Amino acid sequence: MIKISPRRVYRLLHPKLTVIVSAQSGDKKNAMTVAWITPVSANPPLIVIAVAPKRFTHKLIEESKEFIVNIPDINKLELVNYMGTVSGRDVDKLAKVKYREGVKVKAPVLEDCVAWLECKVVNQVEAGDHTLFMGKVVKAYAREGVFDEIYNIEEFKPVFHLGGDNYTTVEKKIYKP
């Protein structure tokens, strides 16, 4: 057996579906990459995302009490990496993408993604160095041909985070931006 550093224990639970979470408060908008996301209830539909308080998007979610989960395909890996490595405090990250406002949530819908979950925050819990935002999914939609009760893997290659700047998809290959 090998010893795992306490700082890297979470990576034993990877790969994790990687998404881009967007939020807006007033005229401030941002998006960030999130790999710590999970469903927690089917009825009502609830998901949890973990966001570090130091992130700009954290402030926007905390103020607006809503967010959108944008689900990208592996062909958007450069975008996934960019949204996870550049701070929205310093750069208008959304200037690089096409987006529109959500249907039920006032936050950016990234048009280059393949599916979207619009969420209203129903609970917020401090958990160590992250905040868990529990969101009730108030609207969900996907591109035609990508999802029909399950993802069509012939049409959609999800992004899975392995740790650091390492990613994979449903193929047995590691992708790097």
Does the predicted TM-score (pTM) go above 0.85?
Answer: yes
Annotated domain spans of the chain:
6-175
CATH superfamily, region 6-175: Electron Transport, Fmn-binding Protein; Chain A (2.30.110.10)
Q: Is 27 helix (H, G, I), strand (E, B) or coil?
A: coil
Q: Which amino acid makes up residue 164?
A: G
Handedness of CA 34, 73, 60, 141 (dihedral sign): negative
pLDDT band at 171 (very low <50, low <70, confident <90, very high): confident
Q: Taking 90 as the threshold, does the pLDDT of residue 176 lie above it?
A: no
Radius of gyration of the chain measured on its C-alpha atoms = 16
Terminal Cα distance for the chain, rounded: 31
Taking only the tens place, the pLDDT of each residue in 116-134 is 999 999 999 999 999 999 9
Instruction: Sheet with 174-175: list strands edge to edge.
Output: 16-17, 160-163, 166-168, 174-175
